[in-house]
Structure 1
Amino acid sequence: MHRRLSQALNGLICVHKPQERPLKRICRVLAKTLAEEASQAVGPIQRPLIKLPYVESHESGALLVVGENEIEDYRYAPLISGAAFRPEDIRIEPLQDMETTSTGVCVLGVNDGCDELPKLMANSWLSEYRLEGLLGFERVDNRLDTKVNIRAPFDHVNKFMMSKFLARLESEYRKLAFHTANVDLQSEEAFEMARKGLPRTQLPGQTIIYKLELRHFNPPFFTLNVQCTGETDKFMRLFVHEIGLSLGTTASCVRMQRISQGPFTSDHVLIEREFNLQNILRNISLCRRVLDATKLDPNVVEEQEKDPEKEAETQRREIIDALFLNQSMKRDEEYDSLQPNWPRNYESN
């Protein structure tokens, strides 16, 4: 049973990372849950019997072996050898790190699955993000390591202006995609690639944005859907900031949600309250089937298709409700989910 469980606990697992929950803590909770429930499933180890000589004294004073006694080998007792599985023995590593304030789909490697993560990263999977931003407002760190609020006028920014800028920015990134794939834009190869999709970058870790879409615009609030590869949470936050600067104002990313990571979407995730041995084993099997069914073109990236029902539900969700904001709220009280609730300054006694 121990060997079968050890073989089954290898692969990928897809989880949902909640906001204000460090990814390392989720990995520790997973490892602890697996160790405890796997040890219970295996049950106590049956201690083997060992033979010890039975010795009696002779009349001459010498010791003679007159027989053997069989006793249990207490070296394998639970209080001595420990549980069958321990959290330290279970490796769990993320495919891509996420900041504490971010949320969404996260793919983790379990035991031998951790060795497959570099190979998966080289595939340059396409990830989709929902970025919720705020125009004319930004928090920055000054030299005293305190947050300073920066405000700028944003009345001149309209939906047409932002959409036009995003379309131009998307076009520039698409040109960069052909450049990183070593394809001439005037060649027949570029035409054939464009018919299928967009060229996949041949440089692992290269950040390419394949699609930018303005989903909601109600100044100062706006929402972007971004499909990209090679990104980091810091890049996405700075990306929103640069959009604000390019429009003649400032912008701050107040909420970041990863909708999908490669072939894995919210349909494949486990939430923390579902963490148990049975669900984790089922999720590892599900992730294995998803990978087997994924047909990856090493040269072309296909844009992800949308589910009409999910799209309609997303459109009905107003960003003000999502951020718990209202128009009468004071600017000093604006909500920013990417700012941790705990302070960054620690005073020593």
Structure 2
Amino acid sequence: MSVPVTAPSLYRNLKGVFAVHKHAGVTCSTLGNIILQKIVSDLGTYEQRPQKPMVKFVPRPGENNLLLDGKRRSKSSTIAERNLAMFNYVPANVDDLFDHPSVQGPRYSYEDFELTFGNMLDVLSSGIQLFGLQTTGKEMINSLSRLRFPRSYYLYGKFGLATTKFHNDAKVTERTTWDHISETKITRLLCMIQGSYRNAFIKSSNLDLDSQLAYEMASKGLLRPQTPTGPMIMDIKLHKLNPPDFVIDITCITESGQFLRKLIHEIGLELRSTAICTKVHCYRNAIFFDEDDSTFLIRELKADKLAEVMGKNNSNLISLFKEKRAVYFTASSALDEESNFPFQSNESVG
């Protein structure tokens, strides 16, 4: 996509899905307001649309009488003189001063944009936060939610402490030893956790596991719970261990920040100790990764770059949605079980 050179053309291209790095301690709504402020500010630096024209009657060139000079006519002037003076005006298009930016203010404001949140990271979490801009972005965010793409996190923990809210900023309630904890014990425990969730994950998909449909969906990683469930862990492993500090790599769906912090607490209890979560960082969300160039740092976000990246993201997401549908409906036609499919063909992709 060529870089727009005017504010109206740039505004028309500001639609779709994009990812921004969120820092811990910042709410999603605050981050959204900062993004809109930057977009509106950047649009104001580009060439704006011209003032709206208006039709105004102006004197004919070279004419000169009391009425044309703008002076009030005397009461003694005859009707004929007044009618003659009216014919000395011609219509012309002139700039409407009421539409001047000094009167109307900036051409673009917050009300010109519709911002939709994807995954809602809580205030204590950091990492990838998805946003949808305008109607196209809203529809794509909704499609991503229906497809229930997994998200991956790094959970930073510390053994030997317990707090009231499972994180390091809360009140400490207990101190324990952690010398007996080893990498082998942690790995064994995480395998047990993953196994228990995997069984529940498969059962909640409401599919016959011996069917061709289940095979097709499992081979493409598309099995998803179809009954209302809580958080589901798809993969969990030890990423780093430097006692008492450790890092867990976890992939899950329908999770929350509080669930992840409580999970660290429960891991500590299972290992005959205690643990607190010092940091929750989302490094992958669907096709968006922490280290991608398309994931913005808030200080580097510019309207022209945002429009360019959203164009690429929209193309990638549309291709992804088509691929997912192809798997569903290919298997469906073979088994004539379309009614059991989780996502229908009327899903909007913008």
- Regarding TM over 0.5, the answer is yes
Partner of 1:32: 37
Give the superposition deviation at 1:94: 1.9
> What secondary structure, in the 3-state scheme, does the structure 2 residue paired with 1:279 have?
helix
> What secondary structure, in the 3-state scheme, does the structure 2 residue paired with 1:170 have?
helix
Question: Out of 249, 261, 264, which is 2:285 matched to?
Answer: 261
How far apart are the structure 2 equivalents of 1:232 and 1:91?
25
Q: CA RMSD in A?
A: 3.1
Residues 158-177 of structure 1, C-alpha deviations (whole Å, 9 max, x = no match): 22222111101101111111
Partner of 2:125: 102
Give the superposition deviation at 1:135: 1.2
CA change 1:192–1:271 in 2 (3 A) is closer
CA contact (8 A) 1:263 1:294 kept: no
Q: Is 1:50–2:73 an aligned residue pair?
A: no
CA contact (8 A) 2:17 2:141 kept: no
Give the superposition deviation at 1:190: 5.2
How far apart are the structure 2 equivalents of 1:181 and 1:197?
12
Q: Is 1:23–2:28 an aligned residue pair?
A: yes
Give the superposition deviation at 1:116: 3.3
> What secondary structure, in the 3-state scheme, does the structure 2 residue paired with 1:243 have?
helix
Question: Out of 59, 72, 75, which is 2:76 matched to?
Answer: 59
How far apart are the structure 1 equivalents of 2:96 and 2:213?
70
CA contact (8 A) 1:180 1:201 kept: yes
Question: Out of 5, 9, 13, which is 2:10 matched to?
Answer: 5
2:14 is matched by which residue type in structure 1? Answer: L
Q: How many residues align?
A: 298
Question: Out of 200, 219, 223, which is 2:247 matched to?
Answer: 223
Aligned ranges for residues 247-258 of structure 1 at < 5 Å?
247-258=271-282
Residues 46-69 of structure 1, C-alpha deviations (whole Å, 9 max, x = no match): 242331586745526889463447
CA contact (8 A) 1:124 1:204 kept: no
Aligned ranges for residues 1-349 of structure 1 at < 5 Å?
3-43=8-48, 45-52=50-57, 56-59=73-76, 64=82, 66-67=85-86, 68=89, 72-112=95-135, 113-140=137-164, 147-184=171-208, 194-197=218-221, 199-203=223-227, 206-266=230-290, 267=292, 268-294=294-320, 297=324
Higher radius of gyration, 1 or 2: 2
| Identity %, equivalent residues | 24
Partner of 1:317: none
1:96 is matched by which residue type in structure 2? Answer: N
2:207 is matched by which residue type in structure 1? Answer: V
How far apart are the structure 2 equivalents of 1:194 and 1:166?
22
1:80 is matched by which residue type in structure 2? Answer: V
CA contact (8 A) 1:20 1:100 kept: yes
CA contact (8 A) 1:35 1:86 kept: yes
How far apart are the structure 2 equivalents of 1:8 and 1:128?
30
> What secondary structure, in the 3-state scheme, does the structure 1 residue paired with 2:116 have?
strand
Q: TM-score, normalised by structure 2?
A: 0.74
5+ residue gaps, structure 1, are: 301-349
How far apart are the structure 2 equivalents of 1:115 and 1:25?
22
Partner of 2:347: none
How far apart are the structure 1 equivalents of 2:220 and 2:301?
40
How far apart are the structure 2 equivalents of 1:78 and 1:198?
52
How far apart are the structure 2 equivalents of 1:186 and 1:121?
28
CA contact (8 A) 1:205 1:231 kept: no
Give the superposition deviation at 1:134: 0.8
Give the superposition deviation at 1:149: 4.0
How far apart are the structure 1 equivalents of 2:153 and 2:171?
26
How far apart are the structure 1 equivalents of 2:119 and 2:177?
36
2:307 is matched by which residue type in structure 1? Answer: L
> What secondary structure, in the 3-state scheme, does the structure 1 residue paired with 2:17 have?
strand
CA contact (8 A) 1:57 1:64 kept: no
Larger RCO (CA within 8 A; separation ≥ 6) = 2
How far apart are the structure 2 equivalents of 1:151 and 1:171?
30
How far apart are the structure 2 equivalents of 1:28 and 1:195?
41
Residues 278-327 of structure 1, C-alpha deviations (whole Å, 9 max, x = no match): 21112211211321343654789xxxxxxxxxxxxxxxxxxxxxxxxxxx
CA contact (8 A) 1:49 1:72 kept: yes
CA change 1:49–1:117 in 2 (3 A) is same
CA contact (8 A) 1:45 1:76 kept: no
How far apart are the structure 1 equivalents of 2:120 and 2:247?
23
Partner of 1:344: none
How far apart are the structure 1 equivalents of 2:12 and 2:57?
36
Give the superposition deviation at 1:23: 2.6
Give the superposition deviation at 1:214: 0.8
> What secondary structure, in the 3-state scheme, does the structure 1 residue paired with 2:241 have?
strand
